Amino acid sequence: SDPRRPCCYEHYNPVTGVPALYRGYDDYMHSWVADLILRRVVGLVPGSLEPKPLPIGVAFVCSGIPCRGETLRAVGDGVGVDVVRQR
Please tell me the predicted confidence (pLDDT) of residue 72: 93
Residue 57: C-alpha distances to residues 41, 62, 68, 72 (Å): 9, 15, 28, 21
Amino acid sitting at position 35: D
Cα 35 to the chain's mean position, in Å? 6
CB half-sphere exposure, 78, CA atoms < 13 A: 3
What's the maximum distance between 2 C-alpha atoms anywhere in the chain?
A: 50
Give the tens place of pLDDT for each residue, 50-77. 899 999 999 999 999 988 888 999 999 9
Give mean pLDDT, residues 33-51.
88
